[in-house]
Structure 1
């Protein structure tokens, strides 16, 4: 039994040693260069740099439409593509650029607020893009007073 195991072991070792070829001879250098270029390109990402990420409309009268513009620059190394921009409610409507924004170029995202609500109102706009984080958040806020000028909130007792 020992002789059979030893013989089979020697045959396997001889077989493996005879099949061994120089692995470096099988490498195609043009494929390596293409893979390196692909990996370098994958590291390049766009970066959205906003001038401001929050806008305060101050005190406004209820149902008075408001609008602000969030300006940004692509400070990254690849074209920026904004795929979506949405708000936490239907009273706030963001309008995003439709085409790509090249590195170094600027763009604008317009946010319209219909002035609904009462007292302190804060809305978040989520921008989805091909950045490393994937999303950016912008905020708008306002203090909304009633149309008829009635006081908002609890009344003080004398």
Structure 2
């Protein structure tokens, strides 16, 4: 056994105690931010600078003040509390973003450095900046009454059942009458709501509408197209809007250790090639659905992308280790050439809640 001299041992012990004391000394006061990221949403150039506010609280014993704030773009300016704060006191930091600085999605970083060692926090603002249209007629090609839209339909995109999805829509007023926020009236399904964000949409100017889609209230899964109607008091007629959405079940994250405990859907095969078929020949095929997990699997919905498909299965639940046959009936009448059908299976498999398999053919 190797013996350490007493004086060397004492020196090593002293070094260890010194390092431990220094490590304890580096535990510096922290700032608690209410949020560290603000989404400004869609910002029109003519709306001018947009302000995001961040609130923080000083929670430690030492006196604190903001020493410097650095941003990554000249498009932002910052104002902040410059007072010295004691424990429990709060302050604010306001970031002003100029939407005329660029176009499209933006994400700006703000670094806040305090007077205390180790206090350096990073904040973010993001959104979508839209410049003025130099040619309104060419930009807003879809006309619905006096309002012009960039696209024929409003695509909300992916909607999950845990929180409503918000979509901001830019519109242009080609008419002679203003559209006021408090005059908007909406008719549509309860899971879709439409509001006007800008107080007014003046003639030859533009504004913003907001579509809110509640996936939980929809109480169904898959791809949907709904129609809603808008009108404003003292205006004539209704404006019909088509809203598109893909609704998915939300599953909260879980630990890796639980991976083998949850339902697991396996589809075999994932692709069926019918080769060359005649348009008068109805095709029937089978796909095997298996639950390889340790909890009951629920098949919530099976959806094809065509009325030419009929999908049949004997039940909607599978015990662990159980399998069943999903029957596909494809009627190619009226079709010609290369054809691909997408079939989506929605289940309570939290890892793959939506799975796709394909049905291919060449129709003569």
- Taking structure 1 as the reference length, what is the TM-score of the superposition? 0.63
> Larger RCO: Structure 1 or Structure 2 (Cα < 8 Å, ≥ 6 residues apart)?
1
Residues 44 and 134 of structure 1: CA distance in aligned 2, closer, same or farther (over 3 Å): closer
Deviation readout 1:96-132 (Å, 9 max, x if unpaired): 2222111111000111111121110010011011345
Please state how far the C-alpha of 1:43 moved relative to its aligned partner.
6.5
Q: How many pairs align?
A: 114
| 1:79, distance to aligned residue in structure 2 (A) | 1.4
1:122 maps to which of 107, 118, 134: 107
Does residue 111 of the first structure (1) align with residue 60 of the second (2)? no
The answer to whether the Cα contact below 8 Å between 2:58 and 2:89 also exists between their aligned partners in 1 is yes
Of 48, 64, 75, the residue aligned with 2:59 is 75
- Whether contact under 8 Å (1:80, 1:102) holds in the other structure is yes
Counterpart-to-counterpart distance in 1, 2:57 and 2:116: 13
Residue 57 (structure 1) aligns with: 40
Q: Give, in angstroms, the shift of residue 59 of structure 1.
A: 0.7
Structure 2: gaps (5+ residues): 1-21, 141-364
Aligned-partner SS, 1:144: strand
Does residue 144 in structure 1 map to residue 137 in structure 2?
no
The 2-side partners of 1:130 and 1:118 are apart by: 36
Kept in 1, the 8 Å contact 2:28–2:118? The answer is: no
Q: Does residue 66 of the first structure (1) align with residue 50 of the second (2)?
A: yes
**Runs of 4+ displaced beyond 3 Å:** 42-45
Q: Distance in 1 between matches of 2:102 and 2:45?
A: 7
The answer to which structure has the higher strand fraction is 2
Q: State the partner residue of 2:120.
A: 135
Rg comparison, structure with higher value: 1
Q: Deviations over 1:41-98 (max 9, x none)?
A: x667431100000000001112621002100000112111210112101111111222
Aligned-partner Cα distance in 1 for 2:81–2:87: 15
